Structure 1
Amino acid sequence: MPTPVTSADGLLVLTGSYTPDSGGEGAGLAAVRLVPETGTLRPDPRLPPVPVTGASYLAAHPSLPVVYSTNETDPGAVCAVVLRRSDETLTPLGDPVGTGGANPCHLTVHPDGRWLLTANYGSDTAPGSVAVHRLGPDGRVDELTDVAVHDGTGPVRGRQDGSHAHQVVLSPDGRFVLATDLGADAVFVHRLDTRTGLLRQIAVNRLRPGSGPRHLAFAPDGTRVWSADELSSTLTCHRYDPSTGTLTEVSRVPATTARDIANQPGGIVASPCGRYVWVTNRGADTVAAFRASGTTLQPIGEVPSGGSWPRGLTPAADHLLVANQNSGTLTALRVLPDGALGGPGLAARVPSVVCALAL
């Protein structure tokens, strides 16, 4: 998006939720407003919800007023929505397009605005994979140009019997496509041919067995990357080699100080300065803050998420937006100067919310 969509009512935020046809109670895409001065979130009645099936992750086009959503179903799809600034309306742009896999759960737009990359989580019969779609000049999702299938398993039965791609991101310099795989305990590294839309796998980073890497967050200088490890409930710091796309684990810490609670880290965000890292904790129902000093992480505080089963974590106007899936609430935690987090302001009711995108 070229510029934030703001008004006297606050910053526009789009939310994604599981719908009744994808196991939830949400509407798909829904709009709320964040008032940064108070951390208050409230629905925007001028933008009616858009019924997008299984809208589990959202991403914005780098230059066009277009937002992309996963359709987390089996088989999976992705779709595009136009945000018209003149009257602030949301309109579907074309029909959903298949991803060549099952249950897509994350996507990102290439910086050149011509390619959409999607992580297919997979299913009992379909392995995890990364899909590539060509984007049209108006931002619509066009042809599926490639599907790179992952291979691998891990020691956690029921969760790692096959590969499960969970996130796909570009390296800070744009050279590599990195895809975390929770089932294979790995980060697959690809290179995208921006002429053909084809992926070429160049490396596989095998991480700690049973860790279940879910999402990554890069340090601004591109020398370190932190992983939220869903199955081991840890945060791991890896040294990143920008010449090869390889990761080397250097340290790790528990994702929460809570004890005797089954916990699964979810979203992870690094501060623009690279000094702080934050992570949601599903089970402990908290957001934990860490100070990043070199290759170590030091806990500096942990606050309630303002709901149950916090999943997505999104920066927005000196706040972190927390999508509390099971309680159906979106909350905003203020980021304090020392990286710690203040308590939530007034939450917005968004059934089965799992992600948010500040526009």
Structure 2
Amino acid sequence: MPTPASHPPVHVLVGSYTPDTGGEGTGLSALRLDPSTGGLAYDTGVPPLPVSGASFLAAHPTLDVVYSTNETDSGTVSAVARRHDGVLTTLGAPADSGGANPCHLTVHPDGNWLLTANYGSDKVPGSVAVHRLDADGSLLEPTDFVVHEGSGPVTGRQEGSHAHQILVDPAGRFVLATDLGADAVFTYRLDPGTGTLERTAVSPLRAGSGPRHLAFAPDGERVFSADELSSTLTCHRYDAATGTLTALATVPATTARDVVNQPGGIVGSPCGRYVWLTNRGADTVAAFDVTGITPEPIGETSSGGTWPRGLTYAAGHLLVANQHSGTLAALRVLDDGALQPPDQPDQVVSARSVVCALAL
């Protein structure tokens, strides 16, 4: 996947845990990626924006607006506008997410709705919420809130439901929500007029797997899950008519055998031939060839830090948010799907308590 040397710099926002959420980060910060070298540098003209517990970011499809989770027990989400010069400003007050510890969100492709997954807590079950968006991208009233049910066999992690991701399938027909606590993917249909969710199906996944995030193949016929609790990658057949998943093959997420490992972020290549996921514990990014039913390991590469959580594809590179080391690293994607580890100083930058990145 060669990247032309003339490719302009890519604007990147990174999110971090702030002191009120157990971290040392500043919230949102702006950087630039040089696609020709993989070099990362902070945008000195854009001051950091103190957004509490900015653990996941999503961009509006048509507006220069970004949404952030505020991962706290009280649970809110924030809208952030980007001025023409890149400066970040909050767009109204944070909105109540309805649940505890929102950890993922996405904007519906029509640009009218923000969908949020609330992980929950020991006492509050996982849930999903919908907010209406104004014409300028600001958050309006909540239009629906749904609590998940279910549990799993892993003590300390699956006593109750824990929604971990919410996304829209490639056809735009269904909304899918992974639940790490219930070992399931909940399928909904969103009413485009009212913003309400109708549950249409539940796909039970392997007991104790703890599905964290999904990544669709470009054709929408397969979807891959990063299974946090079983440290595996699973390929599923996706039925676009019903919004349900059927597991086809499962492989280990890492070859490391001497560490407790938890997969984090997962990304599919634009060409559909490869899938990459981060390994928290092994501190690697693993590459897989997914041209067949069973994912075939290509290799593992150092993540450029410790506890790699978020993973983002940007202009021929993978941006890895290493939470515990507080570093953001750029790994070049090679033509065969393998990854080139950082070998230049500017390919890894300090970013305290960083957990996610968003290429704009």
SS in structure 2 of the partner of residue 296 of structure 1: coil
CA distance in 2, matches of 1:183, 1:291: 28
| 1:61 matched residue in structure 2 | 60
2:89 pairs, out of 88, 91, 95, with 91
Deviation for aligned residue 1:8 = 9.9
Gaps (5+ residues) in structure 2? 1-5
Query: What letter matches 1:265 in structure 2?
Result: P
Deviation for aligned residue 1:324 = 0.2
| 2:349 matched residue in structure 1 | 348
| 2:31 matched residue in structure 1 | 32
CA distance in 1, matches of 2:89, 2:258: 46
Counterpart check, 1:127 vs 2:128: no
Query: What letter matches 1:313 in structure 2?
Result: L
CA distance in 2, matches of 1:32, 1:222: 32
Q: Could you list the runs of 4 or more consecutive aligned residues of structure 1 that deviate by over 6 angstroms after TM superposition?
A: none
| 2:163 matched residue in structure 1 | 165
CA distance in 2, matches of 1:268, 1:185: 17
| Residue pair 2:129, 2:145 contacting (<8 A) in 1 also | yes
User: Aligned-pair RMSD on alpha carbons?
Assistant: 1.1
CA distance in 2, matches of 1:146, 1:257: 42
| Residue pair 1:291, 1:298 contacting (<8 A) in 2 also | yes
- After superposition, give the CA deviation of every residue in 1:72-111 in whole Å (9 maximum; x if it has no partner): 01110001111112x2211110000001100000000000
Aligned counterparts, 1:64-143, within 5 A: 64-85=63-84, 87-143=85-141
SS in structure 2 of the partner of residue 250 of structure 1: strand
SS in structure 2 of the partner of residue 21 of structure 1: helix
- After superposition, give the CA deviation of every residue in 1:301-342 in whole Å (9 maximum; x if it has no partner): 110000000000001010000000000000000000110001
Deviation for aligned residue 1:163 = 0.2
| 1:3 matched residue in structure 2 | none
Query: What letter matches 1:83 in structure 2?
Result: R
SS in structure 1 of the partner of residue 61 of structure 2: coil
1:307 pairs, out of 305, 308, 314, with 305
Normalised by the length of structure 2, the TM-score is 0.96
| Residue pair 1:234, 1:255 contacting (<8 A) in 2 also | yes
1:317 pairs, out of 315, 318, 328, with 315
CA distance in 1, matches of 2:177, 2:223: 13
1:213 pairs, out of 211, 214, 217, with 211
Deviation for aligned residue 1:293 = 2.2
Query: What letter matches 1:65 in structure 2?
Result: D
| 1:194 matched residue in structure 2 | 192
1:252 pairs, out of 219, 238, 250, with 250
Query: What letter matches 1:25 in structure 2?
Result: E
SS in structure 1 of the partner of residue 20 of structure 2: helix
Gaps (5+ residues) in structure 1? 1-6
- After superposition, give the CA deviation of every residue in 1:101-141 in whole Å (9 maximum; x if it has no partner): 00000000000000000000001111101100000000001
1:272 pairs, out of 243, 267, 270, with 270
SS in structure 1 of the partner of residue 265 of structure 2: strand
CA distance in 2, matches of 1:81, 1:348: 23
Deviation for aligned residue 1:66 = 0.3
CA distance in 1, matches of 2:357, 2:291: 29
Query: What letter matches 1:357 in structure 2?
Result: L
- After superposition, give the CA deviation of every residue in 1:20-69 in whole Å (9 maximum; x if it has no partner): 00110000001111111111112111110000000000000000000000
Query: What letter matches 2:41 in structure 1?
Result: R
Query: What letter matches 2:36 in structure 1?
Result: E
- After superposition, give the CA deviation of every residue in 1:262-291 in whole Å (9 maximum; x if it has no partner): 000000001111110000000000000000
CA distance in 2, matches of 1:220, 1:81: 29
- After superposition, give the CA deviation of every residue in 1:149-205 in whole Å (9 maximum; x if it has no partner): 100000001000000000001011010000000000000000000100100111111
| 1:357 matched residue in structure 2 | 358
Identity of aligned residues (%): 71
Normalised by the length of structure 1, the TM-score is 0.97
Deviation for aligned residue 1:9 = 8.3
Deviation for aligned residue 1:228 = 0.2
| 1:43 matched residue in structure 2 | 42
| 1:14 matched residue in structure 2 | 13
| 1:4 matched residue in structure 2 | none
| Residue pair 2:8, 2:35 contacting (<8 A) in 1 also | no
Q: 1:317 to 1:8 in 2, by over 3 A?
A: closer
CA distance in 1, matches of 2:142, 2:339: 41
Q: 1:58 to 1:52 in 2, by over 3 A?
A: same
SS in structure 1 of the partner of residue 304 of structure 2: coil
| 2:3 matched residue in structure 1 | none
